[in-house]
């Protein structure tokens, strides 16, 4: 069954930047002069045809993948409402995953997914590798969001800690 990749990125993640879907992966570039691209694909579990998250990668045009991160559906509560409704407990079969096993189904296998937390995580990831790309693509999307500050890092120079 097709994963309806374009529909997943458009409807669930609602990414504010354009990109191209090739196969089951989404590709975006943010600076025409940069050799870096963002690739987002579905991360497989150990079970064939089952997906437990998204795999983000920064891909260099000549050197290949230079950074990869996995965003699990469980950590980002993507299927929390669906799992509660279907009474699928954590650790239970199908919890926080979707499968593309059923060829007769006309709806996408990820139906019921909530991409809000995944979208925020992708925003944070792109801010590291492509500063300003998220806000430059959709200034209205980030309005009203509260940015979280990173915890202070202790200063360990000279064996002392900042207080």
Does residue 160 form part of some domain? no
Instruction: Read off the pLDDT band of 116 (50, 70, 90).
Output: very high
Does residue 156 form part of some domain? no
Instruction: Read off the pLDDT band of 42 (50, 70, 90).
Output: very high
d(CA 79, CA 51): 12
Mean pLDDT, range 114-136, rounded to an integer: 88
Does residue 118 form part of some domain? yes
Residue 3 reports pLDDT greater than 50: yes
pTM (predicted TM-score): 0.77
Residue range(s) defining the domain that contains residue 78:
5-143
Does residue 12 form part of some domain? yes
**Do residues 33 and 27 lie in contact, with contact meaning Cβ atoms separated by under 8 Å?**
no
CB neighbourhood size of 67 (10 A): 13
d(CA 102, CA 80): 21
């Amino acid at each position: 069954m097709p994963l309806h990749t374009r529909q997943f990125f458009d409807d669930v993640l609602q990414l504010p930047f354009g990109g191209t879907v090739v196969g089951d992966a989404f590709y975006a570039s943010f600076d025409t002069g940069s050799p870096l691209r963002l690739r987002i694909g579905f991360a497989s579990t150990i079970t064939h045809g089952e997906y437990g998250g998204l795999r983000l990668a920064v891909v260099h045009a000549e050197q290949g993948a230079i950074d990869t991160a996995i965003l699990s559906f469980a950590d980002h509560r993507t299927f929390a409402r669906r799992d509660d409704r279907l009474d699928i407990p954590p650790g239970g079969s199908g919890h926080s995953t979707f499968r593309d096993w059923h060829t007769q189904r006309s709806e996408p296998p990820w139906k019921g997914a909530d991409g809000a937390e995944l979208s925020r995580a992708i925003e944070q990831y792109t801010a590291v590798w492509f500063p300003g790309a998220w806000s430059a693509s959709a200034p209205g999307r980030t309005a009203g969001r509260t940015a979280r500050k990173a915890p202070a890092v202790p200063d360990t120079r000279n064996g002392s800690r900042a207080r």
